[in-house]
Amino acid sequence: MGMFAGKKGLILGVANDRSIAWAIAQEIMNGGGECGFTHLPDRPDDDKQKNRRRVEKAIDGNPAAKFLVPLDVQDDEQIRSVIAAAVERFGKLDFLLHSVAYADRDDLLRDTIETSRAGFKLAMDISVYSLIAVCNAAKEAFAPNAAVLCMTYFGGEKIVPGYNVMGICKAALEAATRYLAYDLGPKGVRVNALSAGPLKTLAGSAAGVGEMLQMYEHVAPLGRNINHEEVGRTGAFLLSGMSDGITAETLHIDGGYNAMGSPGRLSKLIPAGS
């Protein structure tokens, strides 16, 4: 019997089979859990339905993947519809994974101080408010001792040049996590955030993950980067009963990078006098 035997829930934000959300979902399904998935809506004129097909390719043939529906997190009616579909299929939700974030590429490429007003509102709405909106829509659908998990990054705590406006969004997301944990606590529902180091994903590519991978390898105490499987196991842990005393936390899985106060071993690679 796996630790998710008999458990059912929602996975929001899988983009393809390299997504962090997919790594976590795999661990859940391998542990006996059943998952409903959402995908970013395709444009009406996109006959190829690229967003849906990427997720279909990941879940294809897995009997624990019970449904796949589009979700625009800026549309409250769609959010309610997805929760209703999950309740109809599962009854109650034992877990909910929120792995949704977006910022306009033009805003990501410019200095934070030059972020457009419209771009700021868009990034905060999709990357932060969506967690609040989804939890509010699902608050009566959660089973006792259910768990919610969202994905964040160290750029929400410290300055990471290039992460820019998304760093502000992640800081707000982590604050939202704590307040939602308080609101949902009386229902027995836990809310946590997982702060993963850089990985090669679609989102990571947009954030210039290549340079960060090299730096983490030299600076992190473990002297290496993390991988999808490690993040998958840690995310699944936070959504399982194994972590039933943990809420309102941001857990780092980054090889210890976040604990460093100096470049560490990286300084040995810098020529003397440079």
Mean pLDDT of the chain: 94
Tens digit of pLDDT for each residue in 180-195? 999 999 999 999 999 9
Contact 64, 34 (CB under 8 A): yes
Q: Is residue 2 part of a domain?
A: no
Is 3 a member of any domain?
no
Per DSSP bridges, beta strands 250-253 and 190-196 are parallel
Mean local confidence (pLDDT), 144-169 = 97
268 pLDDT more than 90: no
Q: What is the CATH number of the domain that holds 76?
A: 3.40.50.720
Asked whether the predicted pLDDT for residue 267 surpasses 90, the reply is no
Query: Considering the chain, what percentage of its residues have pLDDT values greater than 90?
Result: 86
Catalytic (active-site) positions: 153, 163
Check residue 155 and give its pLDDT.
Answer: 96
pLDDT on residue 185: 98
Question: In this model, does residue 202 exceed pLDDT 60?
Answer: no
Number of domain units in the chain: 1
Average pLDDT for residues 145-156, to the nearest whole number?
98
Is residue 195 within 8 Å of residue 250, measured between CB atoms? yes
Question: Residue 29 is part of which domain span?
Answer: 8-269
Contact status, residue 4 vs residue 241, Cβ threshold 8 Å: no
Domain-located, residue 274: no
Residue 155 forms part of a structural domain = yes
